[in-house]
Structure 1
């Protein structure tokens, strides 16, 4: 199966059993604390997330896969280069994973081909493919199947691949031998906890999504809490800080696929440029991209926050002019964030 996976550009294949009962108390406590924020679907699904056979009746084993996503031509010092972008207030920062094609489609297609290859070898079997598309306890399954260990930032870390990869699963009705899990190699390092701009990582493997910039700029609808806006900096879609600082990501692998190569306008663009996109232009430029799912309103909301932060640092006239042009936008959410951004002129 590993060889078949490699033919499909999958970095590693693993197998996990379906008894995840040991993970249920932690999941329950996380939900009870409200750390999931507005992601109500997590509560609606309840413990189904930790019970594969309830989600897909007949499931006996879970095949897990990793897909590296660093672009093909990523330089060796990419972590330092990305951290430097955060020091340029007028530059728009889109999370690395979202600069290319939507990974859901890329990974799902490859997992489906792997499932078909398995069926061709052993005959038709029941299966279902998931790529962050259903109540699946993804990181736990990855950990159990030897894909890596849970880093203190809650992401899965691999000694040969860091954390710059996507995870996917195939639920199957075949009893397969489980892969051996690997040991934790974070040691005393707490760099990811210390660097988090909003202190969303409360402790090892303990994340309050309500404070996470990825959650705030992607999952969260409506106004972004005012106390968190200055901490967002120039990040307009997602946040990579905890991965950029992680020592293990010096081993992150480049993807052989062109799908994850950055699109024009999503690396090195200015906030002013992206704020000028009309809704039609937004939809055209984000076709086939994970960014499209947030819609034009949240796109403008996020950029307005970043522009306010830039104004506070630079008092750039072009930034101010661009914000004033959106001051009477039809969306109340956009208007509110534009007004907040313009107020930052007085806080220099």
Structure 2
């Protein structure tokens, strides 16, 4: 069925709908990954967003049951240049179209995704709507709906509702779920850890109540400034146990230490972003998905030091803390698919726990 993407500035793209036909409103962003559409779809950090894939052919290896980061797709909508209708892969159990239809996610194909990406790069991310031709009766009315769209407390929409426990014989890790990707859990389990996953609403006393050896702060959607409860909780946890934060967890830890965050023009989303580890003097290719960054000038230089930098725009990609066993990164060291170069950070987290055990 013919459908359109209508951006908040009035720009219209014409294509065809797939997945669930209908109307959906969200923040339109782009992802530069050449593969990994299933992981993108199920990443809770995309809550409230319509994702445009810049790579032209999507769906060629279908959908399987292994490569998911959460139980269902988290995006509001999905945009591709060309939808593959006949995937070929030994693990595939259904087509991308069937998967989105089954999970009631609206897709749009056949538009000029390069032109859309350039608009978002030049003007910044925008709100937009995917709408079928028969529903588009009054453009001005739809623009009003688009411009009034907001996402309220997205972290609370995607976090677990109850504590989850994963057995392991190694260190006990308390993982705060702000919208975590399952590969964070897998990365810890692969290192023998016992993992307790806590809701984002858990208090510091509840987290410390399981007597963890270390604490992880997960990725998640939205603005870190909206997460005041989580920031206050992190303040109470700092110094009590070794802490490792990823993405939103990185931002919340920085805000808990007095830093500021700002929204990026169009964010970093994809699995091909170069980041330099300053201490190692090495540059790694990383996977990223975030729309905010920590302001370097707002860091307390006596207690915080920049550990990683983005080689494209110079933004902060990692912080180490001098006043507590705490380090965080903006990118995803657990990302799959994507480069595994920075998986060493999980090993450094384990070493930090080792060190804290020896000195206490």
TM-score (norm 2): 0.28
- The structure carrying a bigger strand percent of its residues is 2
TM-score (norm 1): 0.29
